[in-house]
Amino acid sequence: MNSENIMVIDDDISLLHVLENILTKAGYTANLANSGREALSKIEKGFIPDIILLDLAMPDMNGFETFSAIRSITNTPIIFITAIKNNETELSCLELGAVDYITKPFINDILLARIRIHLNNQTHTYEKKAKVAATYDTAKLTSMDALLTDTEFNVGKLIAMGYSNQEIADQLNFSYGYVKKIAYRIFDKLNISKRTDVREYFMK
């Protein structure tokens, strides 16, 4: 069984549920958003999926706008899934940074195969960047978990291990700017000014 969480963003409710059914049967967890704004709200609150399926033609906030807004927070791979069969549009989406472009109607098995490919690529990238596990202090972790939000806690642990903001961004699928803001919030809560001081709050 898979454990990855896939966010689906589409204004078509019936298609959302079709995709939810396809993904859950394949063992994934599907998180649905009926608009770009709904998806952005979830991500801003700290929910970061492993991959995102994004419709292009949506009212209020279209796929391009949604892509740019999400990308300012996270580097999570985004696949455009759309009824627009146009080479120029596809090229624009790929040049924007999408990892794939799938047109509707799609073949379920091919959709799942493409998702698997991009998730595997993401896993391999993570493994290449992984460092030797650090020795955390259980009591300190409990204390930090109570003081910091989930996102701050995860970022703080990596800072304590010596990761740079860019490495943290790459590993957690956040943007560099977002990690920088989180780091400043952690320093403020811990009343410290030096990055190396974070270690004493997490490590033995």
Q: If you average pLDDT over residues 90-110, what whole number do you get?
A: 92
* Separation of alpha carbons 42 and 76, rounded Å: 14
Report pLDDT for 1: 47
pLDDT at 137 over 50: yes
Res. 4 pLDDT band, cuts 50 70 90: confident
DSSP three-state, residue 8: strand
Reading the block at residue 36, the tokens are 């770009």
pLDDT at 165 over 60: yes
Percent of the chain clearing pLDDT 90 (strictly above) = 57
Q: How many angstroms from the chain centroid is the CA of residue 126? A: 13
* Separation of alpha carbons 9 and 16, rounded Å: 8
- Full-model pTM: 0.66
Sign of CA dihedral 22, 76, 57, 103: negative
pLDDT in tens, 43-84: 888 888 889 999 999 988 999 999 999 988 888 899 999 999
* Separation of alpha carbons 4 and 53, rounded Å: 13
Res. 136 pLDDT band, cuts 50 70 90: confident
C-alpha distances in Å from residue 176, one per residue of 76, 143, 152, 170, 173: 13, 26, 14, 8, 9
Reading the block at residue 89, the tokens are 């549009």
**Partners of 74 in the beta sheet?**
174
* Separation of alpha carbons 129 and 146, rounded Å: 28
Which among 66, 60, 98, 105 has a CA at the least distance from the CA of 82?
105
